[in-house]
Structures are given as C-alpha cells and as structure tokens.
C-alpha cells in the first residue's frame, strides 16, 4: 500500500510503500475511499502553530513523530477486523472519528476524547487518511454513513464537526439573537447550513474575499460584511438586539478583534480558527461588558454521531467539495495553502 507522508517538517509529502496493515486486538482496517484536506494538515506539515510574539507550539515536542501520514477526514469500507473487535460488517462504508484520546483519563471516560491531554488522533499521532488503507483502533469510532455522498460525508469528521460543536456553545435564543460567522470558507459554509438547521434565524457572515461573501449570500446569510470595511462594526453594533455571539473560523488577531469589538454587552466570542498570532485584551472590559471569550476544538464522538443524524434527517449538504485522486495529495495541499479551494478538497481512492 502507499502512504503520502510528511518525512521532514516544512517539506513536500513523500510517497511511502509498505505492507498492507493487519488488524490486531480491537483494530479495524479500512480501505480508504475519501479523505478531506484540512487547513490543520498545513499546520501539521509545518510542524508548529504560531502562538504570536515570535513563539511557536512545537508539534514534535507534543508527540507528533515522523514519518507522519496526515488526513483526519476519513471515509472508507471495512476490509478486516481484529480478533477482539466483535461483530464488524466487512464491506460496510463508515466514517472514522479521528480525535481519539488515551481512553483512560477522566476526559476520555466522560466522552470528551478530543480534549484528552495525551491524544492519539488519526492523521496526527496515528497514520491518517492520506493512504490507501487506515487502521482505526476500535469499532466504536466508526459511524455508518450509508446514503450520504461519500465526499461530503468525509468532511463531517472535522469541518462539519468543528462547526457543529462551536454552534452548540453559542447559547441564547436562536430565533431572536444575531449570530456572526467570521470566515466563509469550508467551515463557515458548514456552519451557515447547520445554524439554519439548528433554528438560527438571524445570521451574519464576514469575509474579506468577495467570492466567499457572494457564496455566503447565495447560501442564505441574512447579512454579509467585509470586516475590512470601516462601517462593518457599526453595522453589527446597530443590529436590533445587538450581536449576541460570534464564531471566528479564521483565528487571526484581526478577526478575533473584529468579533470581540462587534459584540453587544453580555456577548460571546468563540474562537475556532488556528491561523495564529496574539491579541491584547483590556481586562476591565471583560467584566464591564460581561463578555465570554472561549475556544472550541473539533468535537467529541457523541457530537459527531448527532451531526451525522442531523445531516441525514435534514438532507443537508454542508460544504462544496471538489474530489481529486489520492495521489494528488501534495498538489491539493499546495492549492489549499494558496487559497485555491472554494470549499473542501477531498482525496479519492478506489480500492
């Protein structure tokens, strides 16, 4: 089998050829059909996150080893299962939950594996979906997605899940309160469709790219803004009932500041994007404006199951996808880094 792996941080993916995997214990082997390409994959290939002020979060020091096979939006068919995996239907198409924890800490026991301090995530610490086959450690991480478009279904494991989990943190009255989505790429598009399905009636979208603003408007955003426009904040501050919550899918100092400064008193800002940098906060304004600033990191297994059920019941298409062959993984990464993806690029392999 072939893998397309990071063998040196900051360098192009390399093709590795090795024996087909054999499942042990509770493991399940999937023949890959689809794997989404995510901005997180770009950070992982570089080997760090930008913490601002010249500081970096070194991923090698956080347990990422090379060679590393990226790809965490994994959809495939069950090829084989280990002797302790139980009854697993061979040939079934499944989505793999990638945000796997240690399995023993209190976070994992509480169903919050994505917040485990010793994560063993697919596509980060374990080999991921930029490969012809993937080993999943236990069948509980497999979700039936029969009936869904395979490319769209693959993106639910990260893009869709990240948007859904962030929306669950918004609170308030979705029928009355204004919600701002900052960034109208794959995550923002997913969030817009999901917000409608979850009952949000007043949704604003902000993006500096005209084509993405046009896409958001075509998807039904009630208000579309360019955050670089000097009048954008004033427009949000003048909204009836004010801006109750903002979800920042970009995560730059500029987007975070735009979101915070646009909130009404008692508003909530949820940061999702990992672009990088830092901001200065006036601490007295946090209590004086009664603001909540929180982060949201992907989502848990229960949320992914809820999301798949929601997509199936509402027949949702969360994000525009473009499917390309698996062996074009490096080209797909370069296009994503250059901003050349309207929605989500998905790698496809026919076993």
pLDDT at 60: 87
For 163-295, which CATH class?
Answer: alpha beta
DSSP element (H, E) containing 46: helix 39-46
CATH topology of domain 2-158+299-348: Quinone Oxidoreductase; Chain A, domain 1 (3.90.180)
The token pair at 100 is: 């796997």
* Gap between the Cα atoms of 348 and 272, Å rounded: 27
| Greatest pairwise CA separation for the chain in angstroms | 63
Q: Average pLDDT of each block of 10 consecutive residues along the chain (351 residues)? A: 96 96 98 96 94 90 91 98 96 97 95 95 97 98 95 96 98 96 92 96 97 94 96 96 97 96 97 93 94 97 98 92 96 92 89 75
pLDDT at 185: 87
Is 136 within 8 Å of 143 (Cβ atoms)? no
Angle between helices 39-46 and 329-337 (to 10 degrees): 100
CA distances from 225 to 187, 254, 319 (A): 17, 14, 20
Is 123 within 8 Å of 72 (Cβ atoms)? yes
* Gap between the Cα atoms of 193 and 174, Å rounded: 14
pTM: 0.94
* Gap between the Cα atoms of 129 and 44, Å rounded: 14
* Gap between the Cα atoms of 25 and 83, Å rounded: 6
pLDDT at 319: 87
Q: Which residue ranges make up each domain of the chain?
A: 2-158+299-348, 163-295
pLDDT at 223: 98
């Amino acid at each position: 089998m072939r893998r397309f792996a990071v063998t040196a941080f900051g360098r192009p993916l390399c093709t590795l050829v090795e024996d087909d995997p054999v499942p042990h214990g509770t493991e399940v082997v999937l023949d890959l059909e689809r794997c989404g390409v995510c901005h997180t994959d770009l950070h992982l290939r570089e080997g760090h996150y930008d913490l601002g002020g010249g500081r970096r979060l070194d991923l090698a020091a956080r347990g990422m080893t090379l060679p590393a096979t990226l790809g965490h939006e994994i959809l495939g068919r069950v090829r084989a299962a280990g002797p302790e995996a139980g009854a697993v239907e061979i040939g079934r198409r499944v989505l793999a939950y990638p945000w796997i924890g240690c399995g023993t800490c209190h976070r994992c026991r509480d169903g919050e594996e994505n917040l485990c301090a010793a994560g063993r995530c697919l596509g980060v610490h374990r080999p991921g979906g930029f490969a012809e086959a993937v080993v999943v450690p236990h069948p509980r991480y497999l979700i039936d997605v029969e009936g869904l478009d395979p490319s769209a279904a693959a993106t639910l494991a990260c893009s869709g899940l990240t948007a859904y989990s962030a929306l669950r943190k918004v609170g308030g009255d979705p029928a009355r309160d204004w919600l701002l989505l900052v960034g109208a790429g794959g995550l923002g598009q997913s969030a817009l469709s999901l917000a409608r399905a979850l009952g949000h009636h007043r949704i604003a979208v902000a993006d500096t790219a005209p084509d993405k603003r046009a896409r958001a408007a075509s998807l039904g955003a009630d208000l579309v803004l360019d955050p670089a426009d000097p009048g954008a904040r004033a427009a949000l501050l003048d909204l009836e009932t004010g801006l109750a919550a903002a979800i920042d899918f970009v995560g730059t100092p500029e987007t975070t500041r735009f979101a915070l400064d646009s909130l009404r008193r008692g508003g909530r800002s949820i940061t999702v994007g990992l672009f990088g940098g830092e901001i200065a906060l006036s601490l007295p304004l946090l209590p004086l404006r009664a603001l909540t600033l929180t982060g949201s990191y992907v989502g848990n297994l229960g949320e992914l199951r809820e999301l798949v059920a929601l997509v199936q019941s509402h027949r949702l298409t969360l994000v525009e996808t473009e499917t390309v062959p698996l062996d074009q993984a490096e080209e797909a990464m370069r296009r994503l880094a250059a901003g050349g993806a309207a929605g989500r690029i998905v790698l496809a392999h026919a076993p």
